[in-house]
Amino acid sequence: MSEKRILKLLGFVLVSWAFLNFGNLSYGNSVNSILRQDTSQLKRITFAILDENDFPLIGADVINVRLNNAIKTDSTGTAKLNAENNDVIRIQYKGKLLKEYTANGNVNQIIRIDGNNTLVKLQKQVVLTNDIKLAANLTTSSTQAVYNNDLIKSTVTSVKNALTGRLAGLYTNQSSGRPGLDEVSVLLRGQNPIVLIDGIPRDLTMIDLEEIESVTVLKDAVSTAMLGLRSSGGAIAITTKKGFIGAQQISLTAQAGIQSPLKLPKTLGAFDYANLYNEARRNSGDQPVYTQSDLDAFRTGSDPIGHPDVNWQDQVLKDKSTFSRYDLNFRGGGNTARYYVGLEYQNQKGQFNESDLNEYSTNTSFSNYTVRSNVDINLTPKMTLGLHLFGRIGNYTQPGNTAATIFNSILNTPNNAYPIYNENGSYGGNTQFQNNIYAQTVNSGYRLNYRRDIITDLTLRRNLDDIVPGLWVQVLVSFYSGLSENTDRSKSFAVYKQNGSGSTASYQLFGTNGTQNNNTSTDYQNRQSYIEGAVGYKRNFGLHQIDAQIRATSDNVNNGGDLGLNYYGGSGRAAYSFDERYTAEVAFGLNKTNRYPKDSPMGFFPAVGLSWTLTKEKFMPQLQWLNDLKLFASYGRTGNDAAGYFVFQQFYVGSPSSYFFGTSASSSSALRQDVLANPNVTWEKGDKLNLGLKTTLFKNQLFMQAEYFNNKYSDLLTSPNLSTIVGTTLRNLNVGINRYSGVELQLNWHQSFGDFSYFIAGNASTLKSKVIYQNEVYRAYSYQSRTGQPVGQQFGYIADGLFQSQAEINSAAKITGYNPVPGDIRYKDLNGDGVIDQFDQAKIGTDKPLVYYGANIGFSYSGFDFSVLLQGVANRNLLLTGNSEWEFQNGGFGQAYEHNLERWTPTTAATATYPRVTVGNNFNNNIVSSFWMHSGNYLRLKNIELGYTISSRFTNKIKVSSIRLFVNGTNLFTSASFDRVDPETNGGVYPIQRVINGGLSVKF
């Protein structure tokens, strides 16, 4: 990293520290004065009731046993109570004792509660859009949260990866293991959710695991309606850590681990490859190219230059690489200011081998420096200022020929193609292979991607109790700037084909040894300005609770050269609860974006929710095993902005033809009409129904939540069917209709026996989708219709085994344009016309609802803690095609794999699982069909951790609050229905990593 960038980072840290020190100022109670001991008289003490993540516990009863007085904790988890030194303070929730605590002389004291306790989980605030936090009894929405102590157990660089298996309704799939670019797709009830960080739309890469307080998924209409045009996909709401009233806490965590790939393609050695290639040539009607002497040389390895056997994966990939992460956090505050400052550095190395001859690294790698400073200041007793800063510098490196090119070359290059080096030390190659894979890895230079992100959030909140009790106003201004720059320091290299050996050898040149490029380009330069004004009212009147607010927002996003994307409008939410028995909630979004015509109306997206706590009713029997039972439901309309870039306007592009004018017929270039505009384009809509049940059982040790959802998405932008007579194409039209439905179940059990406690948490989800309407082209046969099928249903030919004899071929349907032979795939003639053609394609793979689930199990005892996270998927299709599956692709010169040896031959006909081998692309066999469709079901040991917290008897002596040692692992074991490839990546790409990690966490 350059000196200039280091100075910028240090400057950002100094600003954070300035606010940190300002946080120690007070109107009379500094952090130092908070710690003063005074046991001579009764004091008004502020108790902060927090879990191990410093998450506030709301609505808990704080009781002074001696004085027999009590008060409930507020939305910050604090309660002010008269107490003296050594008074016993009892913390209860719904009549159940959570903890007893002995007060000391400090005027501000923190009481920590076990966060795994089911009651503690239930009474936490629910985080909604716009960073709105509601008491659990004041919301009817479908939400689920996961907290910091679970997330940081994952040795991953992506927050998306850390969420895998932890939340019902959230489905993730990782398609690559490249450092820093895990490429994890996230779907919430089948849709792409928007990400909110402290209430503002952001990218999920703009946060580190350590600085997260909680992650909440918002799944139904009432929870996301305020997002308006961006509400249909649901939301992932992330809350960052904030300061609290209390002495400064310093936390340091250092960890390092070893990574190794989960799965790599199993390629054939040179001897097996040559034998199979000869067989494929004979099957294709050609003469073998390898003689017996060639085969003997491959088998014995006697001629490594003329008959090489190079396992390219072994030569260019490391068995292991490293991962490390270091976090330093400062947290605390006084009555005037509270602060959280977090610093993180993480580094992940890649799998490529390097050369000591280079003065630079050619390996893939990722390094990341981040700083977050969240400072909240009481400017007056009724006015609070929040200044939240975030900065990140990320560096991504890869070989000059790129990681993707190298992995693709491995799939296209057999082990006997050429040697790494010739006898004279030059790189090997030949006419077909002029890009030596080893040289690509160590001698093609390097590429660097530099990313910089800066975020500033400024919030001013005024309590208007002096005007109307419970009234407040707030203004939020946020700015984001992101930059991505690419540096190209790649270079070309020459390869040589060696003819002969020893002193008589000659070398045929391919390519050139070039000098390194020195090019820099801007990948993107993004900016976002977000402004929000809000007015709210929150009040309790005996058995009545009200929480309402309205907001006006403007969100301007500028992505490089495009014209800015502007969202503007208003939103609101109101919740009313009577006796915590009946709750009603309404929410709406009213907004628009400049991607639609100016005269189009604003989108209005209302939602309503109701809940009923049956256990509050007098008619309900008082059952000891039933502690709480709540029914809730919501319905509403949501929106999705999918129009694209000014599609309502007509664009014109340069015409490839010229126009001729005048007597001299001089030509002139001209414009032509581009794709026809869609002046009636509008936003997509989602009508969402959610029904749910929550219950706690067996002395609040078991929590269960079950939900059913049914979401209809209409006005989906779909490709139109346009006659070729028109002579051009048309923009997508709002005509599509899809439906998604499913059931979700969440279970949590927690129990303690003295010093031993354990927990079991599980979640399971089903997802069923259906295309209701998509402006489908005419289909001659109903089984080919996409309408009525699951969204994204794969279609292809239906395999009916392998042809075993010519007689079987003669009696089968004919294949248009191909004469099959024994060993070829046989297909079903679905329309019965005696011909296999496009009219015999139908849906392939399972169409059962997708099932995904997770289980988190753990215990703690006498300083030890242990947890396991399992994650799995069922009813998932896995289609394998292309050069990572089929033999001898790449124009007939590609790789072959161990599974190709299971091919059909006359002697293996009874056991063959693969068709006969041929050279190049086989017209009959290498097409999309059910033969290549496999089960994608799997169960993965996603995470496991063992920790030990050193006894406080020792740590107190060295003035340390706690020391915890831990070891953990990620992706340690996978059980898959089809285990030849990793079920998430399908093979042939940068592999997902298995990580074994160890570390130390110290708190001061």
State residue 669 phi and psi, 5-degree precision: -70, 160
What residue ranges define each of the domains in the chain, with the CATH number in brackets?
A: 3-115 (2.60.40.1120), 258-262+323-524 (no CATH)
CA angle 661, 667, 669 (to 5 degrees): 110
- Name which of 631, 758, 765, 764 is nearest 702 in CA terms: 758
Q: Quick one: 402 exposed, middle or buried, by C-beta within 10 A (0-12, 13-18, 19+)?
A: middle
Q: Coil, strand or helix: which one is 157?
A: coil
How far CA 987 is from CA of 160, 176, 263, 882, 884, in Å, comes to 21, 9, 7, 11, 7
- Rounded Cα gap, residues 59 and 125, in angstroms: 10
Non-local CB neighbours of 223 within 8 Å, separated by 6+ positions: 128, 129, 139, 141, 142, 143, 234, 235, 587, 634
Q: Are 883 and 988 within 8 A, CB to CB?
A: yes
Tokens of 989: 């790409």
- Distance between CA atoms of 766 and 745, rounded to whole angstroms? 9
Amino acid at 293: S
Question: How many angstroms separate the CA atoms of 544 and 345, rounded?
Answer: 48
DSSP state letter for 466:
T
- Token pair recorded at residue 791: 């969204």
Q: Could you tell me if 46 and 108 are in contact, meaning their C-beta atoms sit under 8 angstroms apart?
A: yes
Helix (H, G, I), strand (E, B) or coil at 182: coil
Helices (H) and strands (E) in the chain, counts: 13, 50
Please state the three-class secondary structure of 730-742 as a single string.
ECCEEEEEEEEEE
Query: What are the distances in angstroms from CA 430 to CA 113, 199, 302, 849?
Result: 69, 58, 20, 50
Q: Which uninterrupted H or E stretch holds 711?
A: strand 702-718
Amino acid present at 1000: L
> Strand pairing of 756-773 and 733-753?
antiparallel
Let me know: does 100 contact 39? Beta carbons within 8 Å.
Answer: no
Q: Which residues of 568-589 are buried (b: 16+ CB within 10 A; e: fewer)?
A: bbbbbbbbebeebbebebbbbb
3-state DSSP call for residue 188? strand
Query: Residue 167 contacts by C-beta under 8 Å, 6 or more apart in sequence?
Result: 144, 145, 146, 215, 217, 763, 854
E strands along 400-503, which residues?
A: 445-463, 471-490, 495-499
Task: Give the β-pairing of 194-197 and 235-240.
Answer: parallel
For residues 152 and 137, give the distance between their C-alpha atoms in angstroms, rounded to a whole number: 29
How far, in Å, CA of 854 to CA of 869, rounded? 7
List the structure tokens of 126.
């629910």
The continuous run of DSSP H or E covering 11 comes out as helix 3-22
* Angle, CA 189 vertex, CA 183 and CA 192 arms, to 5°: 45
- State the amino acid at position 861 in one-letter form: Y
Residue 413: closest CA among 427, 399, 429: 429
Query: Residue 444, by phi and psi: left (phi above 0), alpha (psi -120 to 50) or beta?
Result: alpha
Which pLDDT does position 95 carry in this prediction?
64
- Give the residue among 694, 457, 548 at the shortest CA–CA distance from 226: 548
Query: Using CA atoms, how far apart are residues 805 and 152, in angstroms rounded to an integer?
Result: 59
Q: How far is CA 825 from the centre of its chain?
A: 38
- The secondary structure of residue 271, as a DSSP letter, is H
Q: Which of 922, 946, 935, 921 is nearest to 998 (CA)?
A: 946
Q: CA distances (Å), 134 to each of 74, 514, 545, 722, in order?
A: 11, 63, 11, 50
Distance CA 353, CA 351 (A): 7
Count CB atoms within 10 A of the CB of residue 524.
12
Q: Where are the alpha helices (DSSP H) in 50-170?
A: 118-123, 148-151, 159-162
pTM for the structure as a whole: 0.87
Cα–Cα distance between 168 and 216 in angstroms, integer?
Answer: 11
User: CB within 8 A of 666, min separation 6: which ones?
Assistant: 660
Alpha helices, DSSP H, located in 233-364: 270-283, 292-300, 312-316
Per-residue 3-state assignment (H helix, E strand, C coil) for 337-358: EEEEEEEEEEEEECCECCCCCC
CA-CA distance, 947 to 863, in Å (whole number)?
8
Strands 877-879 vs 933-935: parallel, antiparallel or unpaired: antiparallel
The pLDDT score that the predictor gives to residue 174 is: 92
CB 849 within 8 A of CB 768: yes
**SS percent in the chain: helix, strand, coil, step 5:** 15, 50, 40
Taking the C-alpha atoms of 24, 29, 34 and 39 in order, what is their torsion angle to the nearest 10 degrees?
A: 170
Q: Which residue has the tokens 């349907």?
A: 813
Cα 573 from Cα 914, distance rounded (Å): 59
Element (H, E) at 590: strand 582-593
| Residue 193 CB coordination number (10 Å) | 24
Distance of CA 666 to the CA centre of its chain: 58
DSSP code of residue 897 = B
Contacts of 498 (CB under 8 A, 6+ apart): 305, 306, 419, 422, 423, 424, 428, 505, 506, 507
**Under 8 Å between Cβ of 105 and 38:** yes
Tell me whether strands 938-949 and 962-976 are parallel, antiparallel or unpaired: antiparallel
Q: Which residues contact 47 (CB under 8 A, 6 or more apart)?
A: 62, 73, 78, 79, 80, 81, 89, 109, 110, 111
pLDDT along the chain (1004 residues), means of 10: 47 45 37 36 75 69 82 77 83 74 76 60 68 80 91 87 94 91 89 95 89 94 96 95 87 95 94 97 93 96 95 95 95 90 95 92 94 95 95 95 94 96 96 96 96 96 93 97 95 95 92 94 92 95 93 91 86 94 96 89 96 92 90 97 86 76 74 84 95 92 95 93 73 92 95 90 96 91 95 96 95 92 96 95 94 96 94 95 92 94 96 95 94 96 95 88 94 93 86 94 92
Tokens of 53: 């993540």
Task: Answer whether 307's CB lies under 8 Å from 297's CB.
Answer: yes
Q: What's the rounded Cα separation, in Å, for the pair 97 and 752?
A: 13
CA distances from 652 to 118, 560, 671, 673, 677 (A): 61, 21, 6, 5, 10
**Residue 319 token pair:** 């068995």
